[in-house]
Structure 1
Amino acid sequence: MPLLLPSILANSPRSQQLFILLQSSTVHSCLPILCSLIAHPSSKSSVKRHVLLFSFLYPPSRLVNPPHLQPQEVDLQIFDWTDRVPGYGDDSRSNDATDEIMKAVDSVPKGEPLDIVIDSVDTLLDNLSSQSKTYNLLSRMLSAVRAGANTSRLILHIRAPSSLLPLLTQTRFSPSLTHLTSHPPMLLTHLSIAYFTPPPPLSPPEKFWSVFTPISERLYESENLVFGSEGEGLAGNEIVVEVLVRGGGVGGTGGEGRKRGVERALEGWVSAEGKPCDLSALESLRGLWTRKHVSEEAAPDPTQNVSFNLNLTPEQQQARAQVPLPYAHEGKVAVPVQAPGAILYEPDSADDIDDDDPDEDLDI
């Protein structure tokens, strides 16, 4: 099965999505994938694409690599608001960037390709100090993207745990969704050793996801595997990416309603190379496939290399088959016997049995 991440980066018709959500954690970050999405804004198009980057957490220099961008194809506008910290800085400038964001969004001509990138939604929520206000702002931005070309996208970066995460993943916000979640590779190693459940195709997908999903949602377990007393630390520049694609297709609605299925997979990412790969290509997970190869080898025959013969000759097998089974009533039909009920009792030596009336001396 071909990888999903390359088509997502290229915004190809196979996985063309209106809404892309990148979820990071304390253990691993989706920042390299976010940088690749910005560096590959769209497939080839004759119309220049507008990219609005709102940077709240990381400085734009961490997100944008100018040599990878083609100015003749992309109109990139960067809004560096990393210095907007509530309670600090210039008090004359409001931390509420709602009007400035929507002004920049509305300045893009309707119907033209548009990418809106926000890093990160959690910092935006802290600045606005209102969950409902942040949700409404994101909904307005999604509506603006929907009004653009069918290749337009809203790309949000969020850190788990977050109160906005369950709201943004609901179909009420967007029926179509591409959800990319970063995991440490040692989480798969832990599942393989502790639960005997390696990733597909080494184990059935139904079994793997039933074990992987609840454990991956408990973020403290991943943190303990990496930063605990027996943690293995970060696996260099390798990331395990959980890819969930809900909806899809091509159309003026951004692919919504065209496909109701959900596609889910685990893929690898090498930050040094800046490209996705198969899980088996990750150096930190190579031991999983090695152990599987050893377990698939034929088990040794216990009857070999012994000082006596454990096998039977054909004559011995025939003689054993002719031995009657040791059943007492083999071939007989049990017939019920009618007998009157009775209680048989044999007195014990300690029993005091006297036929006389023990109370005959009483005048009753």
Structure 2
Amino acid sequence: MLKVLVAPDSFKGSLSATEVADRIRAGIRRAVPRADVTLAPIADGGEGTAEVLAATLPGVWEEVIATDANGAQKPVRYFRGHTPEFGELAIFEVAEVVGLPHALVEPGQRTTRGIGHVIRAIAGQGVDTIAIGLGGSSTNDAGAGLLAETGFRFTDADGKTLWPSLDTLDAIRTATCQRPAQLGRVRLLGLSDVNNPLCGPNGATFVFGTQKGVQDLATADARLERFAKRCAAAVGEDVADAEGSGAAGGIGFALRLLGAEMVSGAAFVLGAAGLDAGLGAFDWVMTGEGRSDAQTMMGKGPAMIARMAREAGVPVTLLSGAVEPDAGLAEAFDGCISIQQGPVSIGFAMENAAALLEDAAFQLARLYVAARQQGGA
């Protein structure tokens, strides 16, 4: 019997990771009705990470009130469950609090204070671990607002307390830190799909700032660098160059200052699904995402699946909404296939993603079975 692991990420704007997995399974079973198909939807720390984890673990959804990127109050959902490794675990996504689609004010005025509100509220519930999905943020303030809500005090030249955003980082003259006792009892995890530092050509601003609307990248990057030096002086540690500090506009940097561990979002989700032990029990692995390109190989979920499949000696196929030719992708996967089999518009592909995905999975399964039969002949 053919044993297949289907472990895709979401097709953003079209299908959740769970819906993608369901469509791929349907296509495989049209070709091989008796196939044993295991679904393991994945996420890499961005939107949908909490929902994927909720589909894997027993638990409940809860809600807190926090400040969004515009400074307004909004309800924020988080999932609360239990694992042997992390104990009582809560997970939420920065995109749920300061997501790009809901940002109304200018980039320099957006705040990350709401991330601090959520962390403090959850920590007060007595959980053992808080996991924060980093991805989809509209902010680029190095998590300054978050730090101001979780033990840091920033003052201006007159000694007045500041609640900083990107535009006011240079007004900070002193920074002090006294981490709240309740945070000291909680393990913090930053779930990320990037390893960028906070500053420099590969940092948060130059790589991701444009998509958030930041106009003067050099000026913004310099502000983050000066802010990071003030924070380093306050805590006696410089984490600006640490991997993942540039995640989510520098929220990764702020979390590191609070003692958080930065871990691969994809690896965390796979571990929760019990797949971290390896993929050797399967004959074939299929993964995918909305768009695959060179960035896929920078720690995103499908790349993690490919590495694990390679280590287990199992063939792995990438089936995505769109695939940009890339040497890294070609080397990592046994096949890189787009659901778009002809010259169609992006709108058509997104609107019909479910049907296109199922049909592509059907065709791939037929090819796989035929090749397997020829190999055994």
Greater share of helix residues, 1 or 2? 2
Instruction: Give your verdict on TM over 0.5.
Output: no
* Greater gyration radius: 1
Query: Which category describes the TM-score, using the shorter chain as reference length?
Result: under 0.3
Give me the TM-score of the superposition, normalised by structure 2.
0.27
